[in-house]
């Protein structure tokens, strides 16, 4: 992809987010674009950063670590958004600012124990299986309060909010329903530090913004189709 195309994509996406923010009467600046940069090169991420993006989401640990090292001269915020295996927690705890995909207390404990003492607490979103799909990762809504209470007590983590990846659909009202359920679940937790809803992607970000998303995770609409 050319730099001009990347620039156009980012401009169009930010305008789309801005329109949704205005339409649903959200405060200006309340929604951050998290650029999903998995499989994209460090050079492409650098170009996106030069065009104004600062938060990048990665799914694959080894690929992400190489990019983090290559781009260490930039002031970027790195979010781990993929499945977490126990043998990957140390590197995640050492190199990322945020983790969106925590759905087990065992993983949260390891991230807390392995977070280096010189770094600030690791920002955590709990992944919720809001659609109740058997094939989807995430804690079930009924089990969320107990997990949230336990994670909130861990010393080197900052529990910030919830993340979900609902089943895809094309109807706006049906898209909004699971996002509303996630928002209501976060409100019901009644934990004052919770301020983040990581929800919405290229195909449903308007519905997510309507229901309170503060982080929308966008890949293809920024970087184009993966090769």
Summarised one tens digit per residue, pLDDT across range 119-136 is 999 999 999 999 877 778
Model confidence at 191: pLDDT above 70? yes
Secondary structure element (H or E) that encloses residue 143, with its range? none
Q: How confident is the model at residue 2 (pLDDT cuts 50, 70, 90)?
A: confident
Please identify which residue in the block is written with the tokens 């009924």: 142
Q: Structure tokens of 198?
A: 């990581």
Summarised one tens digit per residue, pLDDT across range 178-190 is 999 999 999 999 9
Total number of domains constituting the chain:
1
Summarised one tens digit per residue, pLDDT across range 51-108 is 999 999 999 999 999 999 999 999 999 999 999 999 999 999 999 999 999 999 999 9
The CATH number of whichever domain residue 215 belongs to comes to 3.20.20.10
CB-based burial of residue 62 (10 Å sphere; 0-12 exposed, 13-18 middle, 19+ buried)?
Answer: exposed
Domain, as residue range, for 164:
3-223
Whether this prediction's pTM lies above 0.75 is answered by yes
In the prediction, which pLDDT does 99 show? 98
- Residue ranges of alpha helices (H) inside the chain are 3-23, 42-50, 61-70, 89-95, 105-114, 144-152, 172-189, 205-210, 220-223
The stretch 111-119 carries a mean pLDDT of 98
Query: How far is it, in rounded angstroms, from Cα 165 to Cα 202?
Result: 12
């Amino acid at each position: 992809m050319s730099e001009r195309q990347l620039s156009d994509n980012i401009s169009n996406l930010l305008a789309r987010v801005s329109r949704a923010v205005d339409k649903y009467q959200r405060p200006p600046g309340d929604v951050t674009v998290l650029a999903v940069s998995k499989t994209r090169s460090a050079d492409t991420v650098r170009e996106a950063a030069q065009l104004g993006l600062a938060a990048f989401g990665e799914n694959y640990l080894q690929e992400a670590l190489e990019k983090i090292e290559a781009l260490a001269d930039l002031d970027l915020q790195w979010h781990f958004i993929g499945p977490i295996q126990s043998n990957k927690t140390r590197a995640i705890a050492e190199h990322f600012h945020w983790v969106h995909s925590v759905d087990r207390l065992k993983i949260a404990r390891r991230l807390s124990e392995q977070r280096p003492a010189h770094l600030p607490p690791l920002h955590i979103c709990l992944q919720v299986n809001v659609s109740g799909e058997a094939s989807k990762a995430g804690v079930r809504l009924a089990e969320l309060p107990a997990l949230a209470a336990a994670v909130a007590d861990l010393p080197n983590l900052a529990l910030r909010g919830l993340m979900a990846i609902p089943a895809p659909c094309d109807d706006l009202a049906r898209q909004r329903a699971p996002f509303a359920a996630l928002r209501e679940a976060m409100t019901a937790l009644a934990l004052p530090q919770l301020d983040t809803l990581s929800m919405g992607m290229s195909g449903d970000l308007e519905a997510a913004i309507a229901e309170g998303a503060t982080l929308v995770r966008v890949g293809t609409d920024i970087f184009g189709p993966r090769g």
